[in-house]
């Protein structure tokens, strides 16, 4: 609010507004010569001119300067942060790749008979293109081999190699330890109830997935 009684009679309203990033006051057009400053805008009717008073021109200039410095500092921080993220991005990619490959090896190890890429997609809820990529990586690395199904030559079975067995066994040991710590303190009855609930939960998920597939067919 502008409260100076000597100048308020020149104003349309006793308020300060912003035009072009500068603080201005709305001066009645007939008094434009009475308020010293820079005109930044005129109302659509021409009855009001928006004047940046000379007394605040320097202060406004400093505000704009500080804003520019702030924008430069923000840009500097973002550039530095982007550089730091880019430097560790390969580590993230490697961790994600290793996690998926171990997941595939453990699935095949823990589920005899469910040894096709389709099985992995279905039960691990992974996209076929992703499974195909990481299965190929595992084959090339010597952890998996492909075997044609003798009964149905259209199917390709995935088998763990001797090189993969120790990795899978170590993964199973980690899973067992995690499960032991996770259910520590639960009674046998509580654990059985949890397993029954989980079974129902998984059945419901599979049913919903099937319903979704039918909707999109």
Same domain, yes or no: 150 and 95? yes
Distance (Å, whole) CA 203 – CA 188:
23
In a domain, 80, yes or no: no
pLDDT given at position 159: 94
Tokens linked to 184: 């520590």
Same domain, yes or no: 111 and 175? yes
pLDDT given at position 92: 53
In a domain, 190, yes or no: no
Residue 62 pLDDT grade (very low, low, confident, very high; cuts 50, 70, 90): confident
What mean pLDDT comes out for the span 39-61?
80
Specify whether the CB–CB gap between 116 and 158 falls below 8 A: yes
User: What confidence tens digit (pLDDT) does each residue in 110-146 have?
Assistant: 998 899 999 999 888 889 999 999 999 999 999 999 9
Distance (Å, whole) CA 88 – CA 81:
11
Percent of the chain with pLDDT over 90: 20
In a domain, 60, yes or no: no
Question: Total domain count for the chain?
Answer: 2
Residue 75 pLDDT grade (very low, low, confident, very high; cuts 50, 70, 90): confident
Same domain, yes or no: 112 and 178? yes
In a domain, 66, yes or no: no
Order of all β-strands in the sheet with 37-42: 17-19, 22-28, 48-53, 37-42
Give the max Cα distance, the chain.
101
Give the CATH number, domain containing residue 136. 1.10.10.10
In a domain, 189, yes or no: no
In a domain, 10, yes or no: yes
- Answer with the residue of higher pLDDT: 14 or 174: 174
Global pTM?
A: 0.48
Q: How many CB atoms lie under 10 A from the CB of residue 161? A: 14
Residue 2 pLDDT grade (very low, low, confident, very high; cuts 50, 70, 90): very low
- Domain of 39 in residue numbering reads as 5-54
Same domain, yes or no: 148 and 102? yes
Distance (Å, whole) CA 110 – CA 165:
11
């Amino acid at each position: 609010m502008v409260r100076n009684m000597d100048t308020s009679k020149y104003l349309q309203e006793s308020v300060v507004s912003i035009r072009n990033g500068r603080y201005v006051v709305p001066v009645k057009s007939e008094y434009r010569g009475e308020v010293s400053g820079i005109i930044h805008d005129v109302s659509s009717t021409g009855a009001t001119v928006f004047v940046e008073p000379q007394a605040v021109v320097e202060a406004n200039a400093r505000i704009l300067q500080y804003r520019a410095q702030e924008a430069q500092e923000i840009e500097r921080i973002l550039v530095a942060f982007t550089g730091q993220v880019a430097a560790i991005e390969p580590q993230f990619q490697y961790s994600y790749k290793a996690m998926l490959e171990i997941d595939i090896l453990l699935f095949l190890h823990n589920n005899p008979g469910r040894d096709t890429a389709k099985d992995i997609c279905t039960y691990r809820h992974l996209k076929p293109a992703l499974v195909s990529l990481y299965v190929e990586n595992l084959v090339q690395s010597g952890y998996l081999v492909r075997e044609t199904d003798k009964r149905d030559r259209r199917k390709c079975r995935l088998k763990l190699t001797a090189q993969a067995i120790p990795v899978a066994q170590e993964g199973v040991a980690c899973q067992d330890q995690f499960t032991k710590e996770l259910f520590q303190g639960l009674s046998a009855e509580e654990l059985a109830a949890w397993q029954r609930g989980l079974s129902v939960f998984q059945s419901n998920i599979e049913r919903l997935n099937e319903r979704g597939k039918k909707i999109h067919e």
